[in-house]
A and B are shown apart, each in its own frame.
Chain A
């Protein structure tokens, strides 16, 4: 069965610092992988997705993620974090009718 693990429950970074959020997945075939962001009181918004092709995918708000099949990982990165990036981030695997979400990583940004 497919599953997603986000090892970090909470991460704090300083504004302007780089960010990497970890995601590991278990999936029987070539996975569809996603990162969503949830701001307080809001629904989830898609940041980026990987279906096939180039393993480095670019998303909105300056985020990128790299698919590494050998490590079963799909880590999210941003070179310079802004205070507005403070939110909860969810990694997900699967297709729309069988989507599994990780537990989420809460990002706090220090001034």
Chain B
């Protein structure tokens, strides 16, 4: 299995520009999570999906952030317009729901975003 795949690995953009981060979860996983990691705040859960449906988006910092999961194999996190304080590493993770494997998250390698 290829694991969770994220793109781009690095993105440098200017303030005000739109940023789209992409994620392909592990096939068969029914949960998908978006996390943000910064030195100041550590790992923050932004939003998660179950069976492509957004369940909890309370961690999304502002209306500038939006996430979609149009099908089981693809999700996007969009920031529009971007601001310097959005600079962080954004991780996508997937998981195989409840049961014995509950809670084992499989992380992608992250997308490092720098907003100038």
Tell me if B42 counts as interface (CB < 8 A to partner A).
Answer: yes
Cα of A41 to Cα of B91 in the assembled complex, Å? 11
Whole-angstrom distance between the alpha carbons of A42 and B74 in the complex? 21
Of the residues B56, B91, B96, B100, contact of A43 by C-beta under 8 Å: B91
For B95, give its contact among A44, A92, A96 (CB under 8 Å).
A96
A21–chain B nearest beta-carbon distance, Å? 16
Digit string of B23-58 for contact with A (CB within 8 Å is 1, else 0)? 000000001010000000011010010100001100
Q: Is the CB of B103 within 8 A of A49?
A: yes
Bound complex: CA A90 to CA B4 (Å): 19
CA A45 – CA B93 in complex, angstroms? 11
Size range of the chain A interface in the assembly? 20 to 34
The A8-42 residues at the B interface (CB cut-off 8 A) are: 32, 34, 36, 41-42
List chain B residues, Cβ under 8 A from A92: 103
| Alpha-carbon separation in the docked complex, A1 to B59 (Å) | 15
Binds B, one of A66-74, A79-87, A99-107: A99-107
Point out residues on B near A: beta carbons under 8 Å: 4, 31, 33, 42-43, 45, 48, 50, 55-56, 91, 93, 95-98, 100, 102-110
Could you list 16 further interchain pairs (A-B, Cβ under 8 angstroms) beyond the known A41-B109, A43-B108, A43-B110?
Answer: A32-B103, A42-B109, A43-B4, A43-B109, A44-B93, A46-B105, A46-B106, A49-B103, A90-B43, A96-B97, A96-B98, A96-B105, A97-B48, A99-B103, A101-B42, A102-B42
